[in-house]
Amino acid sequence: MALKSKRNCTEIEFLSVPARFITAVLLAITISSFTLVGTAEASSRIKDLTDIEGVRENQLIGYGLIVGLDGTGDSLRNAPFTKQSLQSMLERLGVNTRGETINSNNVAAVMVTANLHPFATQGVRIDINVAALGDAKSLRGGTLLVTPLLGADGEIYAVAQGPIAVGGFTAEGEGGSVTKGVPTNGRISNGAIVEREIKFDLGNMDSVRLSLRNPDFTTARRVARSINRYLGIGTAVANDPATVSLNVPKGFNGTVFDLVADIEQLRVDPDQQARVIIDENQGIIVMGADTRVSTVAIAQGSLTISVTETPQVSQPSPFAEQGETTVVPRTDVGAEEESGRKLMILDDGVSLQKLIDGLNALGVSPRDMISILQTIKAAGALQADIEVI
């Protein structure tokens, strides 16, 4: 329960968490016995903070067949699309199998995906990923047949083919099986050849926009100011927290390409919002460096209740004319509350990093830390947003 009192115009929050944790945390903060992570901002290159509008990868997808499997492919009876694809492929090669019974388990239908990197030209090879679509057990040892890869507009941009490399494996017998990794997907390095280019004439543009990967008002302004200090006022303008417009200045000896190459090495101190990310399922906590804890008093309030069941057997005396053996329940209920509880006060502005370091030194589990952080946030003493994923 959270109580509030005012003393000398100072508001103090009282929380209920184990006092042994807080005592050791305060001691650790006082004597500075832990190795703490500094909160000083580290500068980063504009190249690492932004993307160039229009310069991006494009996703490709295709449907194909893998052949040459050692009896680990699709069962054609349960995967009719594999059977139809096999018959269509054979017909294109001059083999008619319509109306015939095909019972091959050396073929598997797969989905092929790839990322077409920006400015990829015809003839360039790209990596592809392959994943089974039917009930194949393993793709190990298979070869992907010619597979067109399409973009979102339905046009063919690359063609894939080649032997597949699979990281996992599976082995089975009549009494059991062993599987390691995922044997139904794999990768083909340089497995596709680019057939169509995506035109993007960066050299003839007179302006371009920089898109911040982590939108922030302060960071966008710092990026614009850094560019203007280097190239002159008016070269860069922060339009919003996510976008900075970049114009070729008058008298600049070069194109937008040269301009981007010049400014991408400039360094900027990125800013970020104080935020704590919590994954309760995995027990993971990720926090920002600027997270702070306001003045807060924390008291112990743990109560342990134990219930012990010890059933006993009751039976009649020897040679008794009546009676039967029964089980009699015996329950022992106990309650224990720790003594010596005290209010502990954390000074205003204590960083969350120091608090976490102290809890880590005590061996507090991540799930216990999550409960403590959420309780402090509920009292309004944690100056950060908590996001639970």
φ, ψ dihedrals at 23, nearest 5°: -60, -45
Strand, helix or coil for residue 46 = helix
Fold classification of 46-54+201-268 is Gyrase A; domain 2 (3.30.1360)
φ, ψ dihedrals at 295, nearest 5°: -55, 125
Looking up tokens 């790839």, which residue turns up?
114
Residue 385 corresponds to which amino acid?
Answer: D
What are the sequence ranges of the domains in the chain?
A: 3-39+275-307+336-388, 46-54+201-268, 58-194
CA of residue 366 relative to chain centroid, distance: 18
The per-residue pLDDT for 35 is 35
Output the CA–CA distances (angstroms, integers) from residue 216 to 103, 165, 221, in the order listed.
60, 42, 9
Strand, helix or coil for residue 226 = helix
pLDDT string in tens for the chain (389-residue length): 343 333 333 333 334 444 444 444 444 434 333 333 343 456 899 999 999 888 889 999 999 999 999 888 998 888 888 888 888 888 888 888 777 777 788 999 999 999 999 889 999 999 999 999 989 989 999 999 999 999 999 999 999 999 999 987 776 666 667 777 788 999 999 999 999 998 887 777 888 899 999 999 999 999 999 999 998 888 899 999 999 999 888 888 888 888 888 899 999 999 888 888 888 777 777 877 777 777 766 554 555 555 666 777 777 777 667 777 777 777 676 656 555 545 555 555 566 666 666 566 656 667 777 777 787 788 777 778 888 88
Give the pairing type, strands 312-314 and 326-328. Answer: antiparallel
Q: How far, in Å, CA of 315 to CA of 361, rounded?
A: 55
105, 71 contact by CB (below 8 A) = yes
φ, ψ dihedrals at 220, nearest 5°: -60, -45
Q: How far, in Å, CA of 31 to CA of 83, rounded?
A: 73
The total number of residues written for the chain in this structure? 389
352, 382 contact by CB (below 8 A) = yes
Q: Is the pTM of this model over 0.85?
A: no
First to last CA, the chain: 26
256, 235 contact by CB (below 8 A) = no
Helices 19-31 and 352-361 cross at an angle (nearest 10°) of: 110
346, 296 contact by CB (below 8 A) = yes
164, 66 contact by CB (below 8 A) = yes
The per-residue pLDDT for 290 is 74
Give the residue from 43, 44, 42, 50 showing the smallest Cα distance to 246: 50
Rg (CA), the chain: 33
In the DSSP assignment, the letter for residue 330 is: -
